[in-house]
Structure 1
């Protein structure tokens, strides 16, 4: 394999000059000299060592990804898949590679794993609440992006992007009300209570009921999980109690599908007896019978935007020679997709 010294010797220039050509600086190189060096690199089939270049530049052009729950099905779960599709698009657009960290966000010493891998920036997707992760990641000293939470991360100078969960819940609740469902007859199958999005959605659900003159009932807040078997059992149990709900608002479309199965197995019709509304707009939502009404969030846009925001921050850091201490919070508007389940 040709080395940088081989290129310098064949081009009749110094090793430093070849380095200036490769790195576009820090000193200028005359056009004819640059062309001679580039031509020699092609002829010798020279490829610069990416690791060595990263050590010189102190940049790896790699962004790391950490998921809040290492056990999550990040490949088959449509939320993760949608966010990651946008992340890959943004990384390709801005010239970055992506590396996954298999350690859980709750693992002690995760910051040491990150330092060892030397990513230029870190992205956390759907972190769990009640962790000291923001403080630990801030100590690494690289730009931090977060999707699905910001309450704990704004003090970490993080880039926090998410769907507007307040607007999404309001869209769904108002839709159910317009379909004639009374405030005391709408149940909420919320999902994982340890995620910030779940906490926000529950708060909006309860406040909306109070605004409509009904006090939220604990029995109507069901299925504290994303796992379909737990959801199925919880919905069956709620339907067997006195005064069953006429509508169920699910924390994601997976929960909604499990709820639909439980409703049918209980001998109820959808939407005549119980209406169901989901969240995320999974592809299957349009193909079941009846089609699933759902809140669509622009996951691809969110994933792409957070990578581009981190790339912008890295470029700012190069110019200012200091890590930004400013947080950025951005919300993306959801939309209501009405189908037969309501």
Structure 2
């Protein structure tokens, strides 16, 4: 402990606090001490696997391929740095979020990657009080210039998806979006509207429904719109899961994609290649988004300044078999 304290330029008691997982050590000092412990072949009790320390990954839900892709990107970066990733699901409940913050302080983690529907002011204040570097992925609202965040180009994604359907001759294009309070959902809807307006097609509120990015509500919305007197010939779904709900609604109406109704999704999750028909969708680089967020957090842990606090990664239309010309 004396050797490590000398190399780190801290007291022996500070090294002891790091070894025992105490929370009253700054993230920068903790990172320096743990890095030196690893370089010198020492390990903290109960943490033999991760001599470089722990990074938290907090997400609302874990039960989807979307979550798996996000975790995969962060895990690769964190493990390459010789650190461990601790995954927590809060299910959108403030009580669980409070428990996670308490556990984080006790674990002595060095940083956090947050994929939350909302980062409350109280949570942000607590993270800053703990001196814990963090980055937000897919922020639900504008996080502000002082909060590191990573997102995707949702407006261009919504635009190119709708433009693709317009180019195929469709004019009655429905959209099943996400929660209107979510930044990403609003941007995709705005891209959809812009593509319609560019083509001289009036925006029709009857053809727009707001969901939760899940398949169940999307199924009911799609059923409703397919039953209109003048139903849509194409559907732009705000997520791949919403596309699955749309597929089921088509089957229940005795319709097929793309022969009767074209369908475009958003995300390009692995199952998009395996459903029938294979799903045309807008790819957002989920794993790369959390990888960028992880690198941001590691930079801050090392005491380095970020070049920018806001990163947006490009989306891309992937054309498969679920879209075709209007008939």
Q: TM-score range by the shorter chain?
A: 0.7 to 0.9
Output the TM-score relative to the length of structure 2.
Answer: 0.78
Q: Which residue of 1 aligns with 2:151?
A: 162
Which of the two has higher C-alpha Rg?
A: 1
Q: Where do residues 181-196 of structure 1 align in structure 2 (5 Å cutoff)? A: 181-182=170-171, 185-196=172-183
Does the CA contact (< 8 Å) of 1:158 and 1:326 recur in 2? no
The verdict on how the C-alpha distance between 1:116 and 1:193 changes in structure 2, with shifts beyond 3 A counting, is farther
* 1:86-125 equivalences in 2 (<5 Å): 86-103=73-90, 107=94, 110=98, 113=102, 114-125=104-115
Query: What is aligned with 1:217?
Result: 204
Which residue in the other structure is 2:2 paired with? 16
Say if 1:166 and 1:204, in contact at 8 Å, map to a contact too: yes
Q: What secondary structure does 1:213 align onto?
A: coil
* Alpha-carbon distance in 2 for matches of 1:196, 1:96: 32
Going from structure 1 to structure 2, the CA distance change for 1:150 and 1:315 (only over 3 Å counts) comes to farther
Q: Tell me, which stretches of 5 or more residues in structure 2 are unaligned?
A: 11-17, 35-52
* CA distance in 2: counterparts of 1:133 and 1:103, whole angstroms: 16
User: Gapped runs of 5+ residues in structure 1?
Assistant: 1-14, 28-48, 318-323
Q: Of the candidates 306, 309, 312, which is equivalent to residue 328 of structure 1? A: 309
Aligned residues: 290
Any idea what the Cα deviations from partners look like across 1:295-324, whole Å, max 9, x if unmatched?
11111211212111110122125xxxxxx6
Alpha-carbon contact 1:128-1:195 (below 8 Å) kept = no
2:94 is paired with a residue whose SS is coil
What is the alpha-carbon distance in structure 2 between the residues aligned to residue 176 and residue 126 of structure 1?
Answer: 32
Q: Report the secondary structure of 1:316's partner residue.
A: coil
- Kindly indicate whether the alpha-carbon contact (under 8 Å) linking 2:74 and 2:291 is maintained by their aligned counterparts in 1: yes
Q: 1:258 to 1:104 in 2, by over 3 A?
A: closer
Is 1:273 the counterpart of 2:242? The answer is: no
Tell me whether 134-143 or 89-98 shows the greater mean CA deviation: 134-143
**Cα displacement (A) at 1:242:** 1.3
2:20 aligned with 1:51: yes
1:294-305 alignment runs, 5 A limit: 294-305=281-292
Give me the whole-angstrom Cα distance separating, in 2, the residues matched to 1:52 and 1:235: 51
TM-score, length of structure 1 as denominator length? 0.75
Query: Considering only aligned residues, what root-mean-square deviation do their CA atoms show, in Å?
Result: 3.0
Q: 1:204 to 1:138 in 2, by over 3 A?
A: farther
Please tell me whether the aligned partners of residues 264 and 280 of structure 2 are also in contact (alpha carbons under 8 angstroms).
yes
Determine if the alignment matches structure 1 residue 231 to structure 2 residue 231.
no
8 Å Cα contact 1:191-1:255 kept in structure 2 = no
- Matching of residue 145 in structure 1 with residue 117 in structure 2: no
